[in-house]
Structure 1
Amino acid sequence: MKTTFISTYSLLNSPRSSLVRMQADAARYNQEIASGRHADVGLTLGGRMSQAVSLRADYDNLTAMIDANSRTRTRLDVTVEALGTIRAMADEFQAELLSVPHAQRGSEVIRNAARDKLAALIGSLNSAVDGQFLFAGINSGVQPINEYGAGSPNKNAVDAAYLAAFGVTQADPGVSDISAADMANFLDTAFADLFFNDANWKANWSNASDAVQRSRISRSETLTSSVSANEMAIRQLAAAYTMVFDLGSDKLNTDALQVVIDKATELMGNAIAQIIDLEAHMGVAQNRIDTANTNMEAQKKILATRVGDLEDVDPAEAKVRLDAVLTQIEMSYSLTVRLQSLSLLNYL
């Protein structure tokens, strides 16, 4: 039988050498309990790490798309609200035109109502969210509709067309001499060209783009997420309000005034029907975004589960391991203290 000698020095330093490793293990188990993931995912997964990275990338892409949809949904909500306001004002004005007695149709009340509705229409069309104008199409950084007032291009164009057609301004007493036939011809030609001719509309009224914004709401879906101020319904409303407000309706004779009222009523009816269609289209877009978000949230849950299967640790198991390591550390400390107390003097 062979014996070997173990020095006190060796016994003293043996627990110390393992103590560093156990302290590192304790720190790792603490981290895993706190985070719920492996402390070193790459070391644990090895070759499966690429799968975890791919799953996390898919998860992050879905999260980014849902966040983008939230902003798109906000724009749609404000757009639908603005369209609802525009339609409500149009309904109200059309009711006023139909209900006001014939003798009062050129009154200041009706003209003021048309002026206020035109200003409100322009205000709604110039709505913005986060500095982006909703009705400007892809030119979202530019105010889509010019204000109507003295010196503005749209007001100047109306005044010039009126003077060219009748030889008088809207404030001239000679307005009363304009015949119904001449007024009808003016509304269908020179006046209509100011609103329904693309070049004139864009030169005098609109800075918006015909092309509207499209948004990707999922990996496979895109949709139209804005309305352009160049829509025909918008032009018809602007034309109706302007003709009642600024064609000298307070001075027109009864027959000419009736032509204006009839034309305005016709335009209002057409515009309201088209505004309803636009609201419905935007409503469908809202529902599609909600559906896409619901589907993507479900996909995120599946991805989170798959990532968890790869990266997550069992907290209970990690706690057991931590407790075991802490026990070993305490034993190591105790043993070190006992060894330090050993001395030959105790045996002499």
Structure 2
Amino acid sequence: MTNFLVSSFSLSAAPRNSVSRIQQELTIAQKQVATGRFADVGEALGVTVGRTISMRAEMSNIEKLKGANTSIAQRFDTMQAVLETAAGSGENLMSSIISNGSTDEGIATNRRLALANIGQLVGVLNSSYGSRYLFGGGKTDTVPMKSDIVNDYATSQASGTVDTAWQTFVTANAGGDPSLVTADQMKSFLDNEFAALFVTGNTDPALNTWDLHWSNASSSQTQARIGESDLITTSASANDDGFRNMMKSYAMLANLSGESLSDEARQVLTSRSVETLSTGLSQVTDLRSEIGIGQERISRANDGLKAQTFILKVAIGKEEEVDSYEAAIRVTNLTNNLEASYALTARISRLSILNYL
């Protein structure tokens, strides 16, 4: 006959070990049900986990691009809004010039509107979004228009150069009397001395009078990537032809229309201001169209990024996701096993040899 020992401690320890193991497995299974992924992706995928890491990094880059695109789109929205305001003011002035004619009251009204439009256009060109100036060209951290124009155009260096050029011309060609300036002389002044005050883009910086007296902006542009290989221009410049022509028209009226001119000379001034303003407004419309094209490109780029994100999510899911039905069944089975282990452990813990003496 063989003798062996029976220990109630050994009997109770076995179920407790089983409970601990089942609890660990249940925790993992519950996490998989909650997340839909392997609890430990690295352990589950092994050496192939590098693929999902790479895809997740690509998704992260796409999300950054989408965030940057949102900022650019809002920047474009702001540009469109302020340009619409500037264009509206220019069109109102043009209507006033045409309807008011050359009467003293009409001239005074047009001059007042021109001065107001200078201030408004300066404000538009100094617009910013997110601490970056919209019309600074490549210099997005610099206020585009000269500070003295911002403070008061009438006392600014820009206005002073127009007045000086006019006085010099009148002295040389009409004995200092503006009323003696002929129509041909007015045309000559506007085409030469006056036009020379709005020059930019010359290889000789000393000749870039627009840069010297009006603008701090750069004529270069900033660009940003909106897709994997898609670049877009994200800024405009206060040096653009449209803005310079609008300002040129306003300065004609603000600085010269108050002079005692002959009817012929005034007619030249009025018609030239309308012509120049019309050209400027057309050029600003072209700029707004370019911005609109940029907005459409961003929209298309975002659609492409969304499609890429979807494809990557599907690919990652195939690698990392668990079968939700199987995971739920496993949780149920483990829960049942755990409850059975608890019951068995409780019964064994109540066993005692004293019950059989």
TM-score by length of 2: 0.90
The Cα shift of 1:103 comes to 3.0
Match of 1:338 in 2: 347
Counterpart CA distance in 2 for 1:160 and 1:319 is 87
The Cα shift of 1:261 comes to 0.9
The Cα shift of 1:64 comes to 1.1
Q: Return 75-84 or 147-156, whichever deviates more.
A: 147-156
Match of 2:157 in 1: 153
Within a 5 Å distance, the mapping from 1:240-255 to structure 2 comes to 240-255=249-264
Report the residue type matching 1:30 in the other structure. Q
Is 1:186 aligned with 2:178? no
Report the residue type matching 1:184 in the other structure. K
- SS of residue matched to 2:258: coil
- SS of residue matched to 1:215: strand
Q: Is the 8 A contact 1:66 1:296 kept in 2?
A: yes
Is 1:322 aligned with 2:331? yes
Change (3 A) 1:105 1:253: farther
Within a 5 Å distance, the mapping from 1:106-117 to structure 2 comes to 107-117=107-117
Change (3 A) 1:6 1:167: farther
Q: Is the 8 A contact 2:257 2:266 kept in 1?
A: no
Match of 1:165 in 2: 169
Q: Is the 8 A contact 1:166 1:178 kept in 2?
A: yes
Overall identity of the aligned pairs, in %: 32
Given candidates 297, 302, 314, the residue that maps to 1:305 is 314
The Cα shift of 1:285 comes to 0.9
Within a 5 Å distance, the mapping from 1:217-236 to structure 2 comes to 217-236=226-245
Q: Is the 8 A contact 1:45 1:310 kept in 2?
A: yes
Match of 2:178 in 1: 175
Match of 1:53 in 2: 53
Counterpart CA distance in 2 for 1:347 and 1:197 is 111
Counterpart CA distance in 2 for 1:3 and 1:323 is 42
Q: Is the 8 A contact 2:8 2:352 kept in 1?
A: no
Counterpart CA distance in 2 for 1:62 and 1:53 is 14
Match of 1:237 in 2: 246
RMSD: 2.1
Q: Return 284-293 or 334-343, whichever deviates more.
A: 334-343
Counterpart CA distance in 1 for 2:256 and 2:300 is 49
Match of 1:8 in 2: 8
The Cα shift of 1:174 comes to 4.2
Counterpart CA distance in 2 for 1:68 and 1:197 is 32
- Aligned residue pair count: 344
The Cα shift of 1:192 comes to 0.8
Alignment deviations for residues 51-106 of structure 1 (CA, whole Å, 9 cap, x no partner): 10111111111111111111111111111222222222222222222222333476
Match of 1:69 in 2: 69
Report the residue type matching 2:317 in the other structure. G
Counterpart CA distance in 1 for 2:50 and 2:333 is 32
Alignment deviations for residues 235-285 of structure 1 (CA, whole Å, 9 cap, x no partner): 111000011111243522212211211211121122122122111111111
Change (3 A) 1:337 1:240: same
Counterpart CA distance in 2 for 1:3 and 1:59 is 68
Match of 2:301 in 1: 292
- SS of residue matched to 2:22: helix
Counterpart CA distance in 1 for 2:266 and 2:344 is 110
- SS of residue matched to 1:319: helix
Counterpart CA distance in 2 for 1:26 and 1:182 is 96
Q: Is the 8 A contact 2:102 2:266 kept in 1?
A: no
Counterpart CA distance in 2 for 1:131 and 1:91 is 30
Counterpart CA distance in 1 for 2:63 and 2:145 is 36
Given candidates 256, 272, 276, the residue that maps to 2:285 is 276
The Cα shift of 1:197 comes to 4.3
Q: Is the 8 A contact 1:69 1:289 kept in 2?
A: yes
Unaligned runs of 5+ in 1: none
Q: Is the 8 A contact 1:106 1:249 kept in 2?
A: no
Alignment deviations for residues 90-137 of structure 1 (CA, whole Å, 9 cap, x no partner): 222222222223334762111111111221111111111111111111
- SS of residue matched to 2:139: coil
Change (3 A) 1:3 1:100: farther
Match of 1:205 in 2: 214
Unaligned runs of 5+ in 2: 202-207
Q: Is the 8 A contact 2:136 2:143 kept in 1?
A: yes
Q: Is the 8 A contact 1:79 1:226 kept in 2?
A: no
Q: Is the 8 A contact 2:170 2:177 kept in 1?
A: no
